[in-house]
Amino acid sequence: MAKKKNKSKIRANFRKRQNTRVRKTDFTKDFKDDAESLENTVSGERLSGKGNLSRKRTVIGTTSDQTESGFEVDLDIDSEHSRPGRVLSVHGLNSFVKVEDGSVYECTVRGILKSLATDLQHVVVAGDFVTIEIDPDAEENWGVIVRVNARRNQISRTSRKRQQIIAANIDLAFIVSSAVEPALKPNLIDRFIISAEKSNIQPIIIINKIDQVNLIDLQPLAGVWSQLGYPVVMTSTITGEGIGRLRELVVGRDCVVAGQSGVGKSSILNSIEPGLALRVSQVSQENQKGRHTTTAARLIPLASKNGDDSDGGHLIDTPGIRSFQLWDVIPEEVAGYFREIRPFINDCRFPDCTHTHEEDCSVKWAVADGKIDARRYESYCQMRINDEYL
C-alpha cells in the first residue's frame, strides 16, 4: 500500500488550457493612441506560461509514492461535511453515489479534479470509491465529489489516445460473447483477457445463446481457453443453462459484465438477479450487430441471503464494445500476457525476437508442433504488429 506524506502545499500538474499565449506586437498602435501608458512597459518578456496559462498550480493535499486513482495528489477536503460513498453510474457531468446509510446522491465533480493533468478520459467511473461533500441545508440529495480514492484495479482501453476506464475496483470480469448474432470474436475476447490479467482480475469467459447452435462446434475453441486456465461458462437465457453457475460466482464479489452489443449482457443480468428488468433489444438483421441498450456503466448491488446488499456483491453492467485497444501495453510486453507463449520466449535465437518473422524462433516452432494454438498465435500477431490495437 502506498505510504502517504503529510498534508502540505504541492505543485500539481494541470491540463494545458485551450487558449494560447499571444505575444504583444502592436506597440506602435498603442504609442499613437496613448504614448504615456508605454512609459512603464517591461523591456523583456518571459517565455514560460504564467497565470491562467500555467500548467502547474499550488494545491493543498497529500502525495503518495504510488497511486491507482490517476491523480498525483489527494486534495484536502472538509471532513466535517464529507461522506464516503461508491459511484453507481455516471451520466454526463453528474454521477450517482451511494453512501454508507444507503442514500443515493446526485453529484457533480469538483472542478479542480477535472483540471488536474491525467491520461483519464473520464475522472469518475462506475465502481469508484469517492468522498462527497454534502450541503446540510439542501432539500434534495445533492453533493459534490471532492476526492476519488485510489483504485484497486480497473478494466480499461485506449480511446482517442487516452485511458477509458470501463469499471473499477472489481474481482471478476465476465467477458460475454455469443455463439451467433453477433458472431463470436475470439480476438476481442483475448484482448479483454489481457486487460483483466494486467490488473489482477480473474476473467470468466461466457459464451451465450448456446441454444441456437450445436455445442460440439464450440468445444475446440472453448477447450483452448479452458486448458489455459480460463473458466468458460456456456449459457442460455432461454433454457437457463449456466445461469446457476454464474450466480454462485458473483456471491460476495464485484463483477463487471463486458462484451459486444447484442451478446445478451443485460439478459444475463436479468437472469442472475430477477427483478432488475434491464432493457434488452434484438440484433439488427441487416448487419448482425447489436443495438446499444445500455448507454452508461451501472453498478448494481445484489441482494444477499439475509435480504440486504451488505454481502451480496455487485454487478457492473457496461455498454457494448465493438473494438478494444489495449491501454499501457507496449508491443514488447504482449507475448508475456499469453500464458502459452510465455515459456518459449527465452529460447529464441534473438533476444529481441518479435516471434512473427524471425528465424530460429521457439514460439513459431511451438506453433508448428501444436504446443501453441494457431488461432491464439494469430491473435498475438495482430496485437504485436497491428498499430490499430496498440
Rounded CA-CA distance 103/112 in Å is 26
Q: What are phi and psi of 197, to 5 degrees?
A: -65, -35
Q: What's the chain's average pLDDT?
A: 82
The CA-based diameter of the chain, rounded to the nearest angstrom, is 91
Q: Pinpoint the residues of the chain covered by CATH 3.40.50.300.
A: 169-317
pLDDT tens-digit readout, 319-353: 888 888 999 899 999 999 999 999 999 999 999 99
Rounded to whole angstroms, what are the CA distances from 256 to 17, 45, 96? 35, 53, 18
Q: Are 324 and 188 in contact, with CB atoms under 8 Å apart? A: yes
Rounded CA-CA distance 237/271 in Å is 7
**15: which DSSP letter?**
P
Q: What ranges make up the beta strands (E) of the chain?
A: 8-13, 56-63, 73-75, 82-91, 94-99, 104-109, 129-134, 142-148, 154-159, 162-168, 172-178, 202-208, 232-234, 254-259, 298-301, 314-317
Nearest of 265, 246, 267 to residue 257 by alpha carbon: 265
For the chain, the distance separating the N- and C-terminal CA atoms, rounded to the nearest angstrom, is 30
Q: What integer is the mean pLDDT of 384-389?
A: 64
Q: Which of 43-47, 142-146, 276-280 has the lowest mean pLDDT?
A: 43-47
What's the pLDDT score for residue 390? Answer: 42
- Checking if the pLDDT of 293 tops 70, the result is no
Q: Pinpoint the residues of the chain covered by CATH 2.40.50.140.
A: 1-18+53-151
- Checking if the pLDDT of 5 tops 50, the result is no
Q: Pinpoint the residues of the chain covered by CATH 1.10.40.50.
A: 331-385
Rounded CA-CA distance 204/246 in Å is 10
What's the pLDDT score for residue 312? Answer: 72
All three cell numbers of 113:
479534479
All three cell numbers of 216:
460440439
Q: Are 177 and 321 in contact, with CB atoms under 8 Å apart? A: no
Tell me if the bond preceding 301 is cis, omega within 30° of 0.
no
pLDDT tens-digit readout, 253-267: 999 999 998 898 989
- Checking if the pLDDT of 3 tops 50, the result is no
Q: Are 290 and 320 in contact, with CB atoms under 8 Å apart? A: yes
What's the pLDDT score for residue 248? Answer: 93
Crossing angle (nearest 10°) for helices 265-272 and 243-250: 70
Q: Which of 6-20, 75-89, 188-202 has the lowest mean pLDDT?
A: 6-20
173 versus 285: which is more confidently predicted?
A: 173
What's the pLDDT score for residue 310? Answer: 52
Rounded CA-CA distance 73/159 in Å is 24
CATH 1.10.40.50 fits 331-385, yes or no: yes
Q: Which fold has domain 169-317?
A: Rossmann fold (3.40.50)
- Checking if the pLDDT of 13 tops 70, the result is no
Q: What are phi and psi of 28, to 5 degrees?
A: -65, -45
pLDDT tens-digit readout, 17-69: 544 555 556 667 666 666 666 566 555 555 555 444 456 666 665 665 444 55
- Checking if the pLDDT of 176 tops 80, the result is yes
Rounded CA-CA distance 178/218 in Å is 11
What's the pLDDT score for residue 115? Answer: 75
What's the pLDDT score for residue 288? Answer: 46
Put residue 72 in one of left, alpha, beta given phi > 0 → left and psi -120 to 50 → alpha: alpha
If one looks up domain 1-18+53-151 in CATH, what number appears?
2.40.50.140
